[in-house]
Amino acid sequence: MLNSMVINKPPGSKWHPPHQDAFYVPMRPIEKILTAWTAVDPVFETNGSLFVVPGSHKENIIHPEVNVPDLTNIMYFMIPDVDAVAPYNKRVTVAPMEPGDTVFFHPLLVHGSWPNTSNMFRKAITSLYVSQESYYIDVKGTPLEAFEKSLNEVIKGMYGPDVGEIVSMITTKINKRTINMDYDPQYALNFFRERPRHQFRGLFFPNRTHE
């Protein structure tokens, strides 16, 4: 498991426009990545259910993405050419779902979630899995570079430049097979040990509430 998140979508939440999970995952091979989306609350179309574009993963393309407009979290991205990539008549709503129901999908699948127009909360757990053979890639010059920049800015803003630098080193140099470990791992370990744990809560995907 690469990461896992609890996502709470309260009443009044906006939609999360079409996007791909591969945009957030600097790992390969792409066929060794899998997303699991598990309902915690009952899910209906009116309280922010998932929608998918069936077969979109077969194009084998990672679409460039931009920040979602009118949302406060700069970590949210969307495919800008929505009408071409995910026309309304091709979006299939994944609902209803009962607590515990799980959807598995390919990281290239174009998907999103509808706005929550109900008076109900819609909580879910997402987990992203990769194979033991998976490896990190350099995102420079790829569509993923935009997300890396936003992530670093969020981390630096919340925890200071030192934390941003450490996290960047750890996440980009962790795979010895492809990248030289040219930083001191003990320094990174001591950096986190010397600070209270609560300082690092929400370090990755802070306050994510839309998908």
Up-side HSE of residue 62: CA atoms within 13 Å toward CB?
Answer: 20
What pLDDT digit, counting tens, does each position of 136-165 carry?
A: 888 888 888 887 777 777 667 666 655 555
Predicted local distance difference test score (pLDDT) of residue 140: 85
What pLDDT digit, counting tens, does each position of 23-47 carry?
A: 989 899 999 999 999 999 999 999 9
| Sequence-ordered list of residues with C-beta below 8 angstroms from that of 210, at least 6 positions apart, any chain | 7, 9, 13, 14, 15, 16, 68, 71, 73, 76, 113
Domain count, the chain: 1
The gap from C-alpha 203 to its chain's centroid, in whole angstroms, comes to: 13
The pair phi, psi for residue 185, each rounded to 5°, is: -60, -30
Q: Where is pLDDT greater, at 111 or 14?
A: 111
CATH, residue 62: 2.60.120
Residues of the domain holding 118: 1-211
Over residues 103-113, mean pLDDT: 96
Residue 85 pLDDT > 80, yes or no? Answer: yes
Predicted local distance difference test score (pLDDT) of residue 178: 38
Confidence of residue 176 (pLDDT cuts 50, 70, 90): very low
Highest mean pLDDT among 11-15, 183-187, 206-210: 11-15
Over residues 185-193, mean pLDDT: 54
Q: Do residues 7 and 126 lie in contact, with contact meaning Cβ atoms separated by under 8 Å?
A: yes
